[in-house]
Amino acid sequence: MHVGILGGTGPAGLGLGVRLAHAGMRVTIGSRDPLRAEEVVAELLAARPEHQLAIEGADNAGAAKADMVVVATPWESAQSTVRGVAESLRDTVVISMANALVREGKEMLALIPPRGSVAAGIQYALPQSQVVAAFHHLPAAQMFDLASGLTADVLICSDWPEATAATSALIERIEGLRPLDAGSLNQAAAIEAFTAVCITLNIHYRAHSTLRLAGI
Ligand SMILES: NC(=O)c1ccc[n+]([C@@H]2O[C@H](COP(=O)([O-])OP(=O)(O)OC[C@H]3O[C@@H](n4cnc5c(N)ncnc54)[C@H](OP(=O)(O)O)[C@@H]3O)[C@@H](O)[C@H]2O)c1
């Protein structure tokens, strides 16, 4: 499995990329600037000589050629980024991990993007792709540190059952993560907005909490 990450040079994309590569997948970290992606990946690999991670850097167009593609840009640039590579994303599972948030003092607040969620906006921009929302609540630093003991539930939603199943299978391969099917893409609004609550809790309690649902 080859996974591409658009905007993968940020903490979220890099953290997820490390976890995916550690789980045995080939990962392409995408960027607007391929040289930046190559530099970031070289630094990452140099810091982990003990691991054989199949990660490479490329421009976003290169990352969009993968079997599955993750959108890890800031939410405002998610639609324009996927539009720029829409042809490569045709008939592809595209996973949005972007959250529309703003910080006000000690609180993180959720914004309401056009169409209700970032993921719904991406699905609108990519009518020929199977858009999934996932990975919103995973803290980047804990993903990046393979020794952090990361354990978390990952809420997934999509209007495409096969895409939900493919994303669940991807998540199951990552040690410590449990995929949970949260329903249609309509749920992305609540899932994305809940990230504001998770981060506010972390600010209040000076914690690095992850989401775990009891009873399932
Ligand atoms: N940080 C977390 O813990 C976390 C966890 C879960 C989900 N998320 C979500 O994941 C997304 C990425 O988070 P992050 O903290 O990694 O963000 P970030 O560092 O601000 O941005 C990620 C990458 O997006 C690219 N980018 C920035 N501005 C852009 C623009 N105008 N157009 C196109 N690309 C642009 C940049 O890559 P290049 O300059 O190399 O192109 C940047 O390295 C966010 O939507 C966030 O809500 C974050």
Q: Which atom of ligand 1 is nearest to the CA of 12?
A: 16
Q: Which atom of ligand 1 is nearest to the CA of 14?
A: 16
Contact 20, 174 (CB under 8 A): yes
pLDDT beyond 90 at 177:
yes
Of the two residues 181 and 47, the one the predictor is more confident about is: 181
* Amino acid found at 186: N
φ, ψ at 133 (rounded to 5°): -110, 130
Q: Which two tokens stand for residue 82?
A: 């996927």
Q: What is the DSSP string of 43-76?
A: HHHHT-TTS---EEEEEHHHHTTSSEEEE-S-GG
| Residue 81 DSSP class | H
Least Cα distance to 188 among 143, 127, 121 occurs for 121
Each residue of 84-96: pLDDT tens digit?
Answer: 999 999 999 999 9
What average pLDDT does range 177-198 have in this prediction? 98
What pLDDT does residue 50 have? 85
What pLDDT does residue 49 have? 83
Q: Give yes or no for residue 98 CB within 6 A of ligand 1.
A: yes
What average pLDDT does range 168-188 have in this prediction? 98
Q: Give yes or no for residue 10 CB within 6 A of ligand 1.
A: yes
Each residue of 28-86: pLDDT tens digit?
Answer: 999 999 999 999 999 999 998 888 899 999 999 999 999 999 999 999 999 999 999 99
Q: Give yes or no for residue 136 CB within 6 A of ligand 1.
A: yes
What pLDDT does residue 118 have? 98
Residue of the nearest CA to atom 22 in ligand 1?
10
- Cα–Cα distance measured from residue 207 to residue 144, given in angstroms and rounded to the nearest whole number: 17
Residue 22 burial by Cβ neighbours in a 10 Å radius (0-12, 13-18, 19+): buried
What pLDDT does residue 51 have? 86
Q: Give yes or no for residue 79 CB within 6 A of ligand 1.
A: no
Q: Which two tokens stand for residue 204?
A: 């209040």
Q: Which of 41, 73, 96, 148 to mutate to test the pocket of ligand 1 (most atoms within 8 A of CB)?
A: 73
Q: Give yes or no for residue 65 CB within 6 A of ligand 1.
A: no
| Residue 136 DSSP class | T
- Cα–Cα distance measured from residue 68 to residue 116, given in angstroms and rounded to the nearest whole number: 24
- For the four alpha carbons of 203, 209, 215 and 216, in that order, the dihedral sign comes to positive
- Cα–Cα distance measured from residue 21 to residue 96, given in angstroms and rounded to the nearest whole number: 18
What average pLDDT does range 97-104 have in this prediction? 97
What pLDDT does residue 79 have? 98
Q: Give yes or no for residue 122 CB within 6 A of ligand 1.
A: no
Each residue of 102-155: pLDDT tens digit?
Answer: 999 999 999 999 999 999 999 999 999 999 999 999 999 999 999 999 999 999
Residue 6 burial by Cβ neighbours in a 10 Å radius (0-12, 13-18, 19+): buried
* Amino acid found at 27: V
Q: How far is the CA of 30 from the centre of ligand 1 (A)?
A: 11
Residue of the nearest CA to atom 43 in ligand 1?
10
